[in-house]
């Protein structure tokens, strides 16, 4: 009886979309910049500097992916962290751990909608990286 007294929730009221908040786009931009710097450090042989940035990026990734529908830019930035971390692990012959990181990207891009040429490219790149890990994992 008390339920009937409460007003019906309005179907037009939707929770705010966190991806439209200023903090979200700022966090995506910061993660993308961190990725570029970490990639540059890694290719220059500054593995410790790259590792520190990747660890920082992993923390930022969790926040970006915690929203109900992350943006494509956020998914790409998080994917780049995973790819670089996987490459670092692969270079240290940690093939199983590297494979795990690449597998996250396979799952991410296989299930992304709508599919685009860029998401298809990223999926193929992750699948290729997994195959490379598989070739080395038994050695």
Per-residue model confidence as pLDDT tens digits over 95-120: 999 999 999 999 999 999 999 999 99
**Domain locations along the chain:** 20-137
pLDDT for 72 beyond 80? yes
Hey, is 19 helix, strand or coil? helix
Among 84, 73, 77, 64, smallest CA distance to 31 is for: 77
Q: Residue 14: what pLDDT? A: 79
17 pLDDT higher than 70? yes
Using the predicted structure, report yes or no on whether residue 133 has a pLDDT greater than 90. yes
Helices (H), 44-94: 47-65, 72-91
CB neighbour list of residue 101: distance below 8 Å, 6 or more residues apart: 82, 83, 85, 86, 89
pLDDT tens digits for range 34-62: 999 999 999 999 999 999 999 999 989 99
| pLDDT greater than 70 at residue 127 | yes
């Amino acid at each position: 009886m008390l339920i009937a007294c409460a007003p019906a929730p309005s179907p037009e009221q939707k929770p705010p979309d966190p991806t439209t908040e200023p903090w979200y786009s700022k966090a995506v931009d910061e993660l993308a910049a961190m990725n570029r710097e970490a990639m540059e450090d890694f290719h220059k042989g500054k593995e410790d500097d790259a590792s520190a940035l990747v660890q920082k990026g992993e923390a930022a990734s969790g926040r970006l992916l915690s929203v109900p529908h992350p943006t494509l830019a956020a998914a790409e930035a998080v994917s780049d962290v995973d790819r670089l971390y996987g490459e670092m692990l692969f270079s240290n012959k940690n093939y199983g751990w590297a494979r795990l990181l690449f597998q996250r990207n396979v799952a991410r891009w296989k299930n992304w909608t709508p599919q685009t040429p860029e998401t298809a490219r990223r999926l193929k790149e992750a699948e290729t990286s997994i195959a490379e890990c598989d070739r080395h994992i038994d050695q």
